[in-house]
Structure 1
Amino acid sequence: MTTPTPKRKHLEIIQVLISHPNYYGIRIRQHVVDETCITERMLDIFSTERGTGAERADPLGISVGYTKEGRLAALAVADKERCCIIEFASLPPPNRQQKMEILQKHVLCRSIGELYAFDAAKLAMVLWSELGVKVTRAIDIQSVFTDTDFPSDRKPLSAIQACFGDSDNCKLNEKNIDQIFNDLTYNFEEISQMRTDILGRAWISCILPSHENGISTFSTAKPINTSELSGQLLDTLNVLARVSEDSRRVSHLMPTETDHQFSDARASAASIDGTSIDAHASAYKTRFHKSQNVITTFQLESGEQIQRRGQISSVDGKSATVNFDTSVMSDNKNVISIISTDRDLPTSAEGKHNPWICNILLYHDTIDNGADQSSLEWPGSWFPSSQPDTQISTARPLSDCNPASHHLNESQQQALDHMLSSYPITLIQGPPGTGKTSVIATFVHHALAEGKSGIWLIAQSNVAVKNIAEKLLQTNFTDWKLLVSEDFHNDWHDNLYTKIQQHIILSTQFWRLSAKKLHGSRVFLCTLSMLSNPHISRFTEVVALRCAVVDEASQIKIADYLNIFIGFSSLRKICFIGDDKQYRMPPQLGDFISQAVYNNELKSNPLHPIQNDIIACHFVDVIDGQERRSTSQSFTNDAEAAVAIQLAHYLQEQQMSYKIITPYDSQRNKIQKDMSKVDGLDWK
């Protein structure tokens, strides 16, 4: 959208998103108002025909903008010719309620007519959680295009392309469309552009259902009606709104672009006309993803730099291909940078009234710190009797020849007993090094010996899941499979799985698995995100997810648990295990951190092998070290890298094991590259 110089109270914005005979030269009247100035007369133009007083039934488009912190900053309401942008100024509740009732009456809950929006479900929750207003007949635009003929990536551009099709008389300005949807931040420092962008999102939401056969296409969509919710269903909406708000604020803290680190980028061998390049990623954190939009900077032989927009067309491990509309590579061009401009794609979730949401998300205060769970309500059909057993029986000993029968201390035994009980929720808190992984492995042996089934071992990180798998092997339990994303495994971290390779199933194998491959599997392990894989049912048909043991549970956002609570009706027990404190540190280090960070509440292991007679920490002041920025988010320090390599060489000569840790990907890559050049240094 073009941004004119503001000379009048009501601006006119010329749309530059779609080139089509129906929309040539359309000027949208933009009216901006503070929420304190909302009036009946101002908004009834969207619900009542002027002159006749008849109710309007034509579609309206709505869009929102957020502050840098993820709070609601503005709401845009548009028809084909006008757009009203309401900016929120944090009115006190009594005054805001009156204004929001006007907004709800004339826009959000009209007697007739639909509202159209991208990510409408999320938008409806935002309006309820922050403004206390409901919506009637809101249509989520992306959900309409779920047919296999169209992309299902929920990108607004994909839905718009699907709506307009391949018409000869229509051309989409994809660059402009990407721009208005790429970042929903409503930055008051760039207010003119922000208003133009939010207007564009609302206006195009309005015209899509009116375009040619759009009415029949959108008529299949199921409307969102939060105005019909009450009682417990409204409580569920409150929970989902809070979860959505938490997720949204976290996402707004994430960068809007990723500077991809790569070791090589050159013209694609498969590209005859030079319209694509092949790049080799050098850092997993900034790896390439298929369908990412990227801006690639090239340097000419003259030293001049030029930029071209492209898209990642394919990814194979570390290798990726970037396609461009025009030829970009020649002998006198070098690739300087590849920066993707996409935030994480939005995900959709459906809320249902179920015991997990009610007892954990709605009434979580009642189970804080192991409080009595008798006040929680669970379906009687879940238990042989009407309520879960109140008595926790001590786990019977295992065979002495089984490593899992190793001695458990008192707290570990209590944890195991509670995990084996019929209580639906078990909370275990234990700092690193207190034997949580051993308790998980012991639980698997005892639970299966007691005839329990449906055990899934889950964590946030792949490394945590891998550690549990290795512990199972140490206890001679082999009837399990570990589900791993091929993207994480191949080329990047395959070395992590050397000891357990025969138990690995890669995500690319899911759809073609045979029953023989899963024969004998009694337990599955995976990351929490893997449970969202569309082929996960192939495994839950073998081992239904009845008991989920979640390691590193404190690292996981509440929003990420919704998939377990909603997606698996077989779930009857969940064990949350984790802690945010340390325990493995030598006491001299732990005491310092306890004093500086934890108000002297952090306790170290008194039996730690490294006591105060051994110096456990050295500080090396690299005086001539200069930190320099390598990317927008990463740094390197040549002098410190050289010292790290010098220390590594010394430790290797002393036959001591070591690890090098750095907070920056660029520094890690530099150290790894420099170490590989040192003769005799076993850097791998």
Structure 2
Amino acid sequence: MTTPAPKGKPLEIIQNLISHPNYYTIRIRQHVVDETRITERTLDIFSTERGTGAERADPLGISVGYTKEGRLAALAVADKERCCIIEFASPSPPNRQQKMEILEKHVLCRSIGELYAFDAAKLAMVLWSELGVKVTRAIDIQSVFTDADFPSFRKPLSAIQACFGDSDNCKLNKKNIDQIFNDLTYNLEEIGRMRVDILERAWISCILPSHENGISAFSTAKPINTSELSGQLLDILNASARVSEDSRRVSHLEPTETNHQFSDARASAASIDGTSIDAHASAFKTRFHKFQNVITKFQLESGEQIQRRGQISFVKGKSATVNFDTSVMSDNKSVISIISTDRDQPTSAEGIRDGFIRHTLQGDLTIFKDNPWICNILLHHDTIDGADRSSLEWPDSWFPPSQPDTQISTARPLSDCNSASHHLNESQQQALNHMLSSYPITLIQGPPGTGKTSVIATFVHCALAEGKSGIWLIAQSNVAVKNIAEKLLQTNFMDWKLLVSEDFHNDWHDDLYTKIQQHVILSTQFGALSAQNLSGSRVFLCTLSMLSNSQIFRFTKVVALRCAVVDEASQIKIADYLNIFIRFSSLRKICFIGDDKQLPPFGTDNVDNLRSIFEIDHLRENAFLLNIQFRRFYISSSL
């Protein structure tokens, strides 16, 4: 592109994202300023008209860049012809609050005019958590073109394509667009390119609402107004969601590139013109994913090496096809490496969670105020709109009239379910009794070898014997779910089905399911199943992420999700349960089982405050919830 000018000196940039008559001659003036040097004059160009002093109502685009550790490094603000990049220091300077007030007044909370950004909810939360500033009338660009909260629908390129539509006089540089949104880092080693990338992200955000399809689409968009929400609520959202500072830092600890291990790669038999290759992955951890952008390195017969960019177009088990724009394969070339350049996309569960945060920031506080799970787990000792959350409250309708929650006893005798529980020791029996109670939350901690899986299997027998239904057995990993399934077989319980992702099963781990194959349903079979196919199934098993599958309700119609038993709960961040709390109104009981001393959620070695359910004091210690509601319940370390 162009060599960047020093801070304080404007530089003209020619965008390279869109080829369109309206933008051929545009030169975007880039101005870089340190946060300590922000002045009213620096930013008033975005809020008032030069010469007249009238307030500006035209759209502004904003974008952010992060350090390698995931901290906020820069904010870009752009109109159609200018972009100001504000770079932030760490630690924060003494005058940050004063400077941020200027930023709010002239940009983030203008009296008129909208802000446009990709993933605007995440951006708004970042600005609050790191700078303490709020936004007014911020529009999330991807949400304008689809209401779906699943990650596959939220790619920036898809939104840009939808906005510009199909036109002979418009061509999108898809490679460049993918590149600037895939890598949001902003570091000194590549500061020239990073400044151009953050500028282009802000600039294209600005022009979309005034271009063709965008004019009508954006007119009905719901704005994000964190300025109307209390700092307390924003802190709660920030602490409980993937967009929080800690979770964002974890995502930046993960590699942006994957060097795929493969046993074979050759010209595709289906490619007549040599524009694709077939590759056979040899390691599950580095397996191929559909739509990944990859750089493939070839070696010529002469020994020279060349690189070509491509995209994964097909994946089945270990087999994948890579497509290229031009012919790449011939008899005198061999494939040396295939490296994907994309950071892993959010899972469906993460997409739903992010959607919940976005809807809340857009003003929908219903779920946050009325959902018993969220109020009692996430909002304990907090207030929302003046409502006291200092004590836990569950709907009266959740408790059978014959056994109100205040009279629940954990001293159930063994004879109540003698055939299944005679082998349990005293601590296991206590745990089982509480699982069988109507109280909504049971928390069980158990070191390795203490019989957690046996307790789960026994619970299934006893719960069904007592007439309970709606049992789903869940874990973070496929292996843990499989272990529970095998324990059910050992106890001669057969009325269950195990839901498994084909991506995990086929070609990779099908041997894990040899003993239980007749109970396994692959994700590719979901669409063909009916209630009749599932008759006789009284319990379902799956991973937590599987509950985000778009077809999961085919199974919850057969066995409603009333009681979730979660194994490996110490490995799961609290925010990962939001999907269950929000989507399944039938849920009345959750049993959390795990050992927080062994396997905490990913990233806790590097990042503080990534909490599992075991780090929620009022649940873990039973000091408030269990002591008040019924006789004190304590599970010893021998469980």
- Alignment TM-score, normalising by the size of structure 1: 0.80
The residue that corresponds to 1:227 in the other structure is 227
- The corresponding residue for 2:451 is 435
SS at match of 1:161: helix
- CA-to-partner distance for each residue in 1:592-623, whole Å, 9 max, x for gaps? xxxxxxxxxxxxxx99xxxxxxxxxxxxxxxx
* Contact 1:117/1:138 (8 A) holds in 2: yes
Residues 378 and 94 of structure 1: is their aligned pair in 2 closer, same or farther, counting only changes over 3 Å?
farther
1:497 aligns with 2:513: yes
2:20 corresponds in structure 1 to: 20
Deviations 1:168-211 (A, max 9, x none): 11122222222211111111232222111111111111111111
**Cα pair 1:60 1:78 within 8 Å, conserved:** yes
Q: Is the 8 A contact 1:139 1:222 kept in 2?
A: yes
Residue 349 of structure 1: which of 334, 351, 355 is its match? 355
Residue 375 (structure 2) pairs with residue 358 (structure 1): yes
After TM superposition, the structure 1 = structure 2 runs for residues 583-622 of structure 1, keeping only pairs within 5 Å, are none
Give the match's secondary structure for 1:302.
coil
Structure 2 match to 1:516: 532
Contact 1:244-1:559 at 8 Å conserved across structures = no
Q: Residues 127 and 151 (structure 1 numbering): CA distance in 2 closer, same or farther, change over 3 Å?
A: closer
Q: Does 1:69 align with 2:69?
A: yes
CA RMSD in angstroms comes to 2.7
Deviation (angstroms), 1:259: 0.6
Does residue 159 (structure 1) correspond to residue 175 (structure 2)? The answer is no
1:408-460 deviation digits (Å, cap 9, x = unpaired): 11211111112112222211111111100000011111112222222111111
1:462 alignment partner in structure 2: 478
Q: 1:389 aligns with which of 406, 422, 427?
A: 406
Taking the aligned partners of 1:380 and 1:52, their CA distance within structure 2 comes to 62
Give 1:375 shift.
Answer: 3.3
Aligned 8 A contact 1:426 1:576 in 2 = yes
Report if aligned partners of 1:236, 1:357 keep a CA contact under 8 Å in 2: no
Q: Which amino acid counterpart does residue 329 of structure 1 have in structure 2?
A: M
* Matches for 1:107-122 after TM superposition, within 5 Å: 107-122=107-122
Aligned counterpart in structure 2 of residue 407 of structure 1, from 423, 427, 439: 423
- Distance in 1, Cα, partners of 2:156 & 2:591: 38
For 1:66 and 1:400, how far apart are their aligned partners in 2?
Answer: 56
Partner Cα separation in structure 1 for residue 132 and residue 207 of structure 2: 27
Alpha carbons 1:389, 1:422 under 8 Å: kept: no
Partner of 1:176: 176
Secondary structure of 1:219's aligned partner: helix
Residue 320 of structure 1 aligns with an amino acid whose one-letter code is A
Task: Please name the residue that 1:329 is paired with.
Answer: 329
Equivalent position SS for 2:285: helix
Q: CA deviation at 1:382?
A: 2.5
In structure 2, runs of 5+ residues without a counterpart are: 358-366, 383-388, 600-636
The reply to whether residue 541 of structure 1 matches residue 552 of structure 2 is no
**Preserved CA contact (<8 Å) 1:388 1:422:** yes
- What is the CA-CA distance between 1:355 and the residue it aligns to? 2.6
Question: Is the CA contact (8 Å cut-off) linking 1:2 and 1:15 kept in structure 2?
Answer: no
Report what 2:385 is aligned to: none
Match of 1:633 in 2: none
Q: Which amino acid aligns with 1:344?
A: D
Instruction: Write out aligned runs for 1:99-498 (5 A).
Output: 99-146=99-146, 152-230=152-230, 233-234=233-234, 236-240=236-240, 244-346=244-346, 347=351, 348-351=354-357, 352-353=367-368, 354-363=371-380, 375-384=391-400, 388-395=405-412, 397=414, 402=419, 404-498=420-514
Residue identity matched to 2:221: A
CA distance in 2, matches of 1:288, 1:260: 7
Q: CA deviation at 1:534?
A: 0.7
Query: 1:545 is paired with a residue of what secondary structure?
Result: coil
Give the CA deviation at 1:363. Answer: 3.1
Please name the residue that 2:97 is paired with.
97
Q: What is the deviation of 1:578? A: 0.8
Give the Cα separation in 2 of the matches to 1:306 and 1:464. 44
| Residue equivalent to 1:57 | 57
C-alpha distance in structure 1 between counterparts of 2:243 and 2:468, whole Å: 32
Alpha-carbon contact 1:239-1:361 (below 8 Å) kept = no
| Aligned mates of 1:582, 1:78 — CA distance in 2 | 48
SS of aligned partner of 1:306: strand
| C-alpha distance in 1 between matches for 2:565 and 2:9 | 59
Give the superposition deviation at 1:537: 1.1
Structure 1's 271 and 362: CA in aligned 2 closer, same or farther, altered over 3 A? same
Alpha-carbon deviation of 1:582? Answer: 6.6
Query: 2:578 maps to which residue?
Result: 562
Check conservation: 2:408, 2:438, Cα contact below 8 A.
no
Contact kept? 1:14, 1:27, Cα under 8 Å:
yes
CA distance in 1, matches of 2:21, 2:507: 50
Q: 1:115, CA displacement in angstroms?
A: 1.1
Paired letter, 1:541: K
Q: Distance in 2 between matches of 1:578 and 1:79?
A: 51
Q: Deviations over 1:102-134 (max 9, x none)?
A: 212221122221111111111111111111222
Q: Which has the higher contact order (CA 8 A, sep 6+)?
A: 2
Post-superposition shift, 1:241? Answer: 5.4
Q: Which of 562, 575, 588 lines up with 1:572 in the alignment? A: 588
Equivalent residues of 1:70, 1:252 under 8 A apart: yes
SS of alignment partner, residue 356 of structure 2 = coil
Change (3 A) 1:426 1:192: same
> Deviation at 1:557?
2.3
Unmatched segments (≥5 aa) in structure 1 = 366-372, 584-605, 608-684
Partner Cα distance (1:234, 1:414) in 2 = 39
TM-score normalised according to structure 2 size: 0.85
SS of the residue aligned with 1:61?
strand
- Structure 1 window deviating more from structure 2 (414-423 vs 347-356): it is 347-356
CA distance in 1, matches of 2:448, 2:592: 15
Secondary structure of the equivalent of 1:65?
A: strand
Say if 1:233 and 1:453 are closer, same or farther in 2 by CA, change over 3 A: farther
Q: How far off is 1:521 after superposition?
A: 1.4
SS at match of 1:349: helix
Aligned partner of 2:548 in structure 1 is 532
1:243–1:558 CA contact under 8 A, matched in 2: no
Alpha carbons 1:426, 1:575 under 8 Å: kept: yes
SS in 2 for 1:542: coil
- Per the TM alignment, residue 464 of structure 1 is displaced from its structure 2 partner at its CA by 0.1
Equivalent residue of 2:480, what SS? helix
Task: For 1:270, give the aligned amino acid.
Answer: A
Aligned length: 576
The alpha carbon displacement at 1:388 in A equals 2.4
Which amino acid is 1:332 matched to? N
- Shift in CA distance, 374/180, structure 1 to aligned 2, threshold 3 Å: closer
Alpha-carbon distance in structure 2 between the residues aligned to 1:378 and 1:232? 23
Check the 8 A contact 2:163/2:212 in 1, yes or no. no
Say if 1:358 and 1:3 are closer, same or farther in 2 by CA, change over 3 A.
farther
